[in-house]
Amino acid sequence: MSIINKIYLELNLLHKKFFNKKKYFSFSGVDIILEKIFMHQSKGIYIDVGCQHPIKNSNTYLLFKKGWEGINVDLDKDNIELFKTSRSNDNNFNKALSSDVKEMDLYFYHKKSPINTIDKKTSEFQKAKVSSIKKIKTDTLNNIILDTKYKDRSFDLLSIDV
């Protein structure tokens, strides 16, 4: 990664940390509910599938700030680069998940789009137009977990936002 790209990522993260006026970071306040559920648990392990951004629209950022750690999975490579910069102790994967390891069509709208999908029916439901269809290899959540330091541990939270 180039030094300019790394500086850009750092500035993006700083902006989200200090200029966010909301009291929550997830899209609709899910993180506040999770924080209440786990209010007496200072450490834990999460899996965040469809993690999107490490701060903005994050279901796990408040838990991370509390001392939690875990696995973040997202289809968008740029999002995972942000996670690698800001949550380097987590295991961060740029992957699409399915029930099998196989090649599938990715209905791609644009970078950082939360509606990029491997599900054709979902893509047909969207009002936006697919900009391209790409071939990608999917993986299973079990395979991802086995590739981490958490493979023999219990998880406290599984957040699936895809």
Residues 118, 124, 127: CA angle, nearest 5 degrees? 115
* Paired strand residues for 93: 73
d(CA 137, CA 104): 6
Residue 21 pLDDT = 59
- Residue 5 pLDDT grade (very low, low, confident, very high; cuts 50, 70, 90): confident
pLDDT digits (tens, 9 = 90+) for 80-128: 999 999 999 999 999 999 999 999 999 999 888 888 999 999 999 999 9
Q: What's the rounded Cα separation, in Å, for the pair 105 and 151?
A: 29
Give the pLDDT score at 28. 82
Give the residue from 27, 26, 25, 72 showing the smallest Cα distance to 45.
Answer: 72
Predicted pLDDT at 17: 64
pTM (2 decimals)?
A: 0.83
Interaxial angle between packed helices 77-86 and 3-18, expressed in degrees from 0 to 180 and rounded to the nearest 10: 80
Question: What DSSP assignment string belongs to 100-132?
Answer: S--EEEEEE-STT-TT-BS-HHHHHH-SSPP-E
Residue 109: closest CA among 98, 97, 121, 118: 118
CB 46 within 8 A of CB 67: no
- Model confidence pLDDT, tens digit, residues 28-75: 889 999 999 999 999 999 999 999 999 988 999 999 999 999 999 999
